Chains A and B, each alone.
Chain A
Amino acid sequence: MIHKKRSLDGATRESLDRATNGTGTDGTGTDGTGTDGTGTAGAIEARGIVKSFKARGDVLAGRTVRALRGVDFRIPPGGAASFIGESGCGKTTLGRILAGVESFDSGELVLGGVPLAGLAPRKRAPHFRRVQLIHQDPYSALNPTRTVESILRDPLALRAKQTGQSRAWIDGRAREVLDLVGLDPGYVLPRFPHQLSGGMRQRVVIARALTVDPAALVADEAVSMIDVSLRLGVLNLLRELRSTLGVSVLFITHDVATARYIGADGELYVIYRGEIVEHGPTETVLADPVHPYTQCLLSAIPVLHGVEQPGADRLAPTEPLDESQPEDGCLFAARCPFATDRCRTEHPELGHLGGTAHEHACFYPQRRSVVATPLADT
């Protein structure tokens, strides 16, 4: 059995086809740990994830970019965690690590109760089947020369082979996953991606992810390229999958409002230069942010004048983001309107705010009203 698993892993690694890479039960069976997606075993947990990139090329050669500097988080089965931050803050790297497309330097990642750090990369791979990545761009995530039927058939065929299912199961399952994502199988199956709208394409991408029965979806800016009128439909779908299938969703975005829509009952993580600077229940952090970086991010959300009034304490960073800014004290000190000498020399650790679930990494946490609020009806 171990040999069989190895050869399959080798083959899938060669084909580089992540969607079809699924030996989940086999692999974990050999480790002797349970993997059914219930209880805490289904949770995803990250502890102190660190990742650095060595820059290549002439100009930047040798310079190390610290993408993640020790990130902790936990998502329960069917839960939602949103990561918000500027471009370059490390949120995409985090999603890629979770989906197994990127390695990590140190720390621990626990998927379905199995700690992965100690496993050889080859043994990690089957566990990552449980986490599927939904890309930002549904236009390039689907092979334009293949019909939806053929796109869904490959991962399903492999799954059928592993689980000893018949061909009829493949057809039935393809229709089932399309139903789950709200598409009409009769209409969609024979069509090519270019014949579908952006929203429909993204649903096909999600359906493809569901073919391997994932425990979690990592949605990296999954709706930013979709038309506004169709966005909400895709967001609703992700919400439904959470409640009906118990799929957890890790939502990575710079659009705070969509993060709130997906995970109002979940956790919000604010990430800055590879470090979590504020974290808590989504509604708490949005209503009462205490870290100046979170406050800057939330202040930057456009105000719908006529419908909303801007927060009274809106603020902006004093400097643009620059990776060469000092790393001695608080990473945000160089851009923070309230930084003191202490902030520039001493590094604040993430700690709880007055015994609540709300965490922050700031020496001077202070509530400021930065988010726009609905105007009272006149």
Chain B
Amino acid sequence: MTAATQATTSTAAAAPPAVTIRDLTIVYRTPAGELPAVSGVDLDLPPGTITGLVGESGSGKSTLALSLLGAVQRPGRIAAGSIHVDGLGNLVELSAKSLQEARGGEIGYVFQAAQNSLNPLKTVGKQLLDLGRSHGVRDRTALVRSAKELLAGMGLDAARVLDSYQHELSGGMRQRVGIMFALVLNAHVLVLDEPTTALDMISQANVLKIVRAVHTERGLTTLLVTHDIGVVAEVAERIAVMYGGVVVEQGETADVLRAPKHPYARALINAIPRVSGDLSAARPLPGRPPTLGTIPTRGCVFRERCAVYAERQLPACVAEQPPLAPVADGSGRLVACHAVAVEDQQATGETA
């Protein structure tokens, strides 16, 4: 089904666009030379789906999300790869001017901690007009009208919000204002960076419900970046798990949560305390997440903390980073692990 929609999206403007990231490498210049924050990442955002990108600090998830805006800042740069968005082409090759139009236009971005991304000196309405001006919107009345529609749709008193300064709004309201800014120019790709981090449980549940609703209503392709697997579990159909600059596992959210295959994904899911069931099932993950300078340059990025490597010591784990490859069970799951690949080979060998 996905393949069929993919083929038609480039022509039909109404259908949600597909986003295809291939072999993307983003490096940061440091005193120790250029170090990759994202290395050789392949990621598909199927049209009309919400994909959750999960990772810890330093995993490269926010850098990857920023690259969708063409907004990787110096000292970072995209060293290789492509980001293809239907209707826009390869973002890596776009001119500065077309990129600027795409940002906030076709691609909407909701920043982490919306309170820091709103201007404290201007009302929301003024900032809306600024946005319109910077994108050459002629019809201001229509702009305000669609902003009001969006705000009202998210359960806010639109007129009041447009007249408010950011400090007059609660955290959950600011986050909804952020979503309005991302979508008011009719974006079809929505990127949300940690949209609920500063919120309490009830506000988080409200914001997630709204994300889900606008996503469906407006036919979006959505990427949700977070460290919180619960958030992904609640709203995303697909999940991609990042570690040390690479995607280590990708698949349907419920499948991955039920039976994670990559040792990191498994350990991460096991490290979450639950509100019911056996408490002792939660297990901490030894070691610490790597930073830009400490990501292993050779071999698997997760090797040092990996329980499977500790037990089996596969030479391949030391030699090279395993590629993100489909697993043999035909579920469409992608996993980057030598041990999983070996098991798959053995399993298929036995059945053959």
Contacts and interface: CB of A to CB of B under 8 A. Distances in A.
Interface of A: 85-87, 197-200, 227-233, 235-236, 254-258, 260-261, 264, 286-287, 296-308, 316-317, 320-321, 371-375
B277 A373 contact: yes
A258 to B, nearest CB: 6
Nearest to A196: B288
Contact of B201 (A232, A287, A297, A306): A297
A86 B273 contact: no
Interface stretch (B33-41, B129-137, B226-234): B226-234
17 contacts: A228-B229, A228-B272, A229-B267, A229-B288, A230-B285, A230-B288, A231-B271, A232-B284, A233-B284, A257-B275, A260-B273, A286-B276, A296-B202, A303-B230, A303-B234, A308-B274, A373-B276
Contact of A372 (B57, B271, B276): B276
B279 A316 contact: no
A134 B229 CA distance: 25
B128 interface: no
Contacts of A372: 275-276
Contact of B274 (A233, A317, A374): A374
Nearest to B274: A257
Given A228-B229, A228-B271, A306-B256, A264 B279 contact: yes
Q: Is the interface of A mostly helix, strand, loop or mixed?
A: mixed
B273 A258 contact: yes
A307 B234 CA distance: 12
Contacts of A198: 57
Contacts of B283: 232
Interface stretch (B85-93, B203-211, B311-319, B322-330): B203-211
Interface in B287-302: 288-289
A63 to B, nearest CB: 14
Contacts of A254: 200-201
B340 interface: no
A198 B258 CA distance: 29
Given A301-B230, A373-B277, A317 B268 contact: no
Nearest to A236: B284
B25 interface: no
Interface in B197-247: 199-206, 208, 227-231, 233-234
Nearest to B254: A306
Contacts of B227: 227-228
Contacts of A316: 202, 205-206
Contacts of A375: 258
Contacts of B276: 286-287, 308, 371-374
Contact of B257 (A257, A301, A307): A307
B212 to A, nearest CB: 12
Given A87-B171, A199-B288, A229-B271, A303 B233 contact: yes
